[in-house]
């Protein structure tokens, strides 16, 4: 099997260029390329403790991303997932030399532990300077019976120690005090990771990873096997529940590493949500909310600090980890929280607003009850209409959109970003809900149409939501000013209003017939409705002809080149491997196709 596709397949080039990039991201740094050491200059003149860290690459932004005022002073990078050698680490110690001493933060992995410890001992013996190794081992997934000889692994909690140690050093605290603070964190911190899929080392094949489709609970940051596997269909809430139980259940003889009081509601808790590299920002944010909700509902814990981001990745691993730091009311704990607040220029750190600095408690505001019809503030006349007919039209539109959604989604997946079908369906569902709950004023032609514009705009969003919203709003206004008492509400009346609404819409978009957009169906619909209704103002003949022309306009988009919207960026051949059917005929524009479904629903509902 070929290697996973990447822009940079050479792992050596990858590490070197990442390190070089830091010189642009933080001007003033120095890079010893031979030994893979990044450092701040003139550290010997700082007259304070210095802090360094390092390890295998592949965990970015760790470690170079934490170089900066208020965090690390030097970092040393090994190859992907491999510890730097003793000579590299020795060079980092030389670069960070200080008469006040140096702290070396190391994750507890055999290679890192041995190489960093030996380099530190050699450096101390050669220079007489004080060097302390702070070992981070906070993984709660490694059971005591298995880890009694090698200890637990160091995970994302390492970054909290980077921050506290670096901030303490910049405050001028002595080396004993900094080590004491680091020990306080280590003794009260736990991390648990979970993954859907492993990461892939650049240049290596993506097959034969030894990982199944199951959810890996406790997987390490180097693709180490998990201690437990959960069925792939396990709900995310249940996965989080198991993770928090492993962190906070002190009665668990194998995994209960945090002190018993860690689950007490009165403790001050720091939550760090870490992306292992392969999650989107929005997914990590949603997971952060789910974790926070369970901490509150199951343990009555509200974190006093919440951090979310990519702090210690596993290349592109599809997973995340939860780190909890549980602190008491001691002065030492208060110092740790204060140090977390200190500013830093490190580009990998994401700050958190302390809860005690909030002007008021955060909360979810109550929405206005949509369950009952309420008076609407509008200048529109209340033009009465058949309420049951209005509701039937909405239900008919919903049915047609539901039927068209699979094809619509397929078309937009090939030609755009794949959301056109679900977006239109969301609008139709919102209309249906409003009709069924009575929140839409379906007794009024004008106010009901205006309400529909608001509903679809809110439910759909994006370009299509805006277009439907503008057209419906303008249609409501036109229906209002064209209405005259004792004037029949017939097709001609609607046609005149539709012409004005289309004119209003054309003021906001330059798309016209031939541009491969929704307008290729809407414009023929309105113009045909206007033309035919002049001779046949009663009945549905004009509407039937207009819907037929809209369908023809939609079908014609198969032969057009897009000039608006996302499909304008897609190559003529769609940029993808086409099926034989798609090779024979191009796909219609999704927006136009979706509008035809809406118009079909309108026609069938009125019939």
pLDDT at residue 81 tops 60: yes
Please tell me the predicted confidence (pLDDT) of residue 177.
98
Please tell me the predicted confidence (pLDDT) of residue 367.
55
575 known ligand binder: no
- What mean pLDDT do residues 519-540 have? 95
Task: Give the Cα separation of 103 and 97 in Å (integer).
Answer: 10
- Which class does domain 11-200+214-357 fall in? alpha beta
pLDDT tens sequence across 555-597: 999 988 766 554 554 444 444 444 434 433 589 999 999 999 9
Please tell me the predicted confidence (pLDDT) of residue 200.
84
Please tell me the predicted confidence (pLDDT) of residue 375.
47
Please tell me the predicted confidence (pLDDT) of residue 2.
57
pLDDT tens sequence across 107-159: 999 899 999 999 999 999 999 999 999 999 999 998 888 766 678 899 999 99
Please tell me the predicted confidence (pLDDT) of residue 366.
60
Tell me which long-range contacts 242-251 makes (C-beta under 8 A, separation of at least 24).
242/217, 243/192, 243/194, 243/217, 243/322, 244/291, 244/294, 244/295, 244/298, 244/299, 244/322, 246/140, 246/141, 246/190, 246/192, 246/218, 247/140, 247/190, 247/191, 247/192, 247/322, 247/324, 248/299, 248/324
pTM for the structure as a whole: 0.75
pLDDT tens sequence across 182-203: 999 999 999 999 999 988 888 7
Please tell me the predicted confidence (pLDDT) of residue 573.
47
Please pick, among 162, 170, 222, 255, the residue that the annotation labels catalytic.
222
Report the Cα 516 to chain-centroid distance in Å.
31
With 0-12 CB in 10 A as exposed, 13-18 as middle and 19+ as buried, what is 433? middle
Task: Give the Cα separation of 491 and 418 in Å (integer).
Answer: 35
pLDDT tens sequence across 222-270: 888 778 999 999 999 999 999 999 999 988 888 888 888 888 877 899 9
Task: Give the Cα separation of 423 and 518 in Å (integer).
Answer: 14
Which runs of consecutive H residues, i.e. helices, occur in 50-174? 86-95, 110-127, 144-147, 157-171
Please tell me the predicted confidence (pLDDT) of residue 577.
44
348 known ligand binder: no
Please tell me the predicted confidence (pLDDT) of residue 371.
45
Task: Give the Cα separation of 181 and 335 in Å (integer).
Answer: 8
59 known ligand binder: yes
Sequence ranges of the chain with CATH classification 3.40.50.10440:
11-200+214-357
> Which pLDDT band, with edges at 50, 70 and 90, does 362 fall under?
low
- In the predicted model, what is the mean pLDDT of the chain? 89
pLDDT tens sequence across 488-529: 789 999 999 999 999 999 998 889 999 999 999 999 999 999
64-97 exposure pattern, b = at least 16 Cβ within 10 A, e = fewer = bbbbbebbbbbbbbbbbbbbbbbebbbbbbbbbb
Tell me yes or no: is domain 387-606 CATH 3.40.50.620.
no
Sequence ranges of the chain with CATH classification 1.25.40.340:
387-606
DSSP state of 309: E
Please tell me the predicted confidence (pLDDT) of residue 382.
85
Do the Cβ atoms of 479 and 410 come closer than 8 Å?
no
Distances (CA, A) of 564 to 359, 427, 460, 510, 519: 45, 22, 19, 9, 11
- What mean pLDDT do residues 3-28 have? 90
58 known ligand binder: yes
Please tell me the predicted confidence (pLDDT) of residue 358.
56
Sign of the four-CA dihedral 587, 591, 596, 601: positive
- What mean pLDDT do residues 531-552 have? 95
- Annotation says 162 is catalytic: no
Please tell me the predicted confidence (pLDDT) of residue 365.
60
Structure tokens at 578: 């086409």
pLDDT tens sequence across 290-318: 999 999 999 999 999 999 999 999 999 99
Task: Give the Cα separation of 397 and 427 in Å (integer).
Answer: 10
Task: Give the Cα separation of 517 and 468 in Å (integer).
Answer: 13
């Amino acid at each position: 099997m070929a290697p996973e596709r990447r822009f940079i397949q050479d792992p050596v080039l990858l590490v070197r260029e990442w390190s070089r990039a830091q010189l642009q991201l933080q001007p003033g740094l120095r890079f010893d390329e031979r030994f893979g050491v990044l450092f701040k200059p003139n550290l010997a003149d700082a007259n304070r403790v210095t802090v360094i860290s390092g390890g295998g690459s592949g965990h970015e932004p760790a470690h170079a991303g934490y170089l900066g005022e208020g965090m690390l002073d030097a970092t040393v990078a090994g190859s992907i997932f491999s510890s730097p050698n003793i000579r590299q680490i020795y060079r980092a110690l030389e670069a960070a030399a200080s008469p006040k001493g140096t702290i070396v933060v190391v994750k507890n992995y055999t290679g890192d532990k041995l190489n960093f410890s030996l380099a530190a001992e050699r450096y101390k013996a050669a220079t007489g300077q004080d060097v302390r190794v702070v070992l981070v081992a906070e993984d709660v997934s490694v059971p005591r019976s298995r880890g009694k000889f090698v200890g637990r692994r160091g995970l994302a909690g390492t970054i909290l120690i980077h921050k506290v140690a670096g901030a303490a050093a910049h405050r001028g605290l002595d080396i004993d005090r900094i080590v004491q603070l680091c020990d306080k964190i280590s003794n009260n911190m736990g991390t648990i990771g979970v993954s859907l899929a492993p990461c892939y080392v650049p240049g290596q094949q993506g097959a034969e990873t030894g990982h199944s489709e199951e959810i890996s609970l406790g997987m390490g940051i180097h693709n180490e096997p998990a201690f437990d596997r959960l069925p792939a269909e396990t709900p995310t809430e249940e996965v989080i529940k198991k993770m928090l139980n492993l962190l906070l259940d002190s009665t668990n003889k194998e995994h209960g590493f945090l002190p018993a009081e860690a689950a007490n509601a009165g403790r001050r808790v720091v939550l760090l949500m870490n992306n292992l590299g392969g999650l989107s920002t929005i997914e990590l944010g949603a997971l952060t909310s789910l974790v926070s909700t369970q901490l509150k509902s199951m343990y009555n814990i509200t974190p006093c600090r919440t951090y979310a981001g990519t702090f210690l990745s596993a290349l592109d691993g599809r997973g995340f980890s939860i780190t909890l730091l549980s602190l008491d009311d001691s002065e030492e704990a208060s110092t740790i929280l204060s140090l977390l607040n200190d500013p830093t220029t490190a580009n990998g750190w994401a700050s958190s607003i302390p809860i005690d600095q909030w002007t008021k408690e955060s909360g979810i505001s109550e929405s206005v009850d949509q369950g009952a019809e309420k008076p609407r503030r509008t200048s529109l006349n209340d033009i009465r209409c058949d309420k049951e007919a209005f509701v039937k039209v909405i239900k008919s539109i919903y049915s047609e959109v539901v039927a068209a959604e699979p094809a619509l989604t397929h078309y937009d997946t090939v030609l755009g970003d794949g959301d056109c079908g679900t977006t239109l369906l969301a609008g139709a569902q919102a209309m249906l809900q409003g009709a069924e709950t009575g929140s839409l004023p379906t007794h009024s032609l004008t106010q009901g149409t205006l309400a529909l514009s608001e509903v679809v705009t809110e439910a759909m969003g994006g370009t299509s939501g805006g277009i439907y919203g503008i057209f419906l709003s303008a249609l409501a206004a036109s229906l209002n000013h064209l209405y005259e008492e004792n004037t029949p509400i017939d097709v001609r009346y609607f046609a005149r209003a539709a012409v004005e609404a289309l004119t209003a819409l054309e003021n906001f978009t330059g798309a016209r017939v031939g541009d491969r957009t929704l307008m290729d169906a809407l414009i023929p619909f309105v113009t045909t409705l206007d033309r035919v209704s002049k001779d046949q103002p009663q009945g549905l003949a004009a509407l039937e002809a207009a819907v037929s022309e809209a369908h023809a306009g939609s079908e014609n988009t198969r032969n057009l080149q897009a000039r608006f919207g996302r499909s304008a960026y897609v190559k003529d051949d769609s940029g993808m491997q086409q099926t034989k059917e798609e090779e024979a005929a191009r796909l219609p524009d999704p927006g136009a196709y979706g509008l035809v479904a809406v118009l079909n629903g309108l026609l069938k509902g009125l019939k």
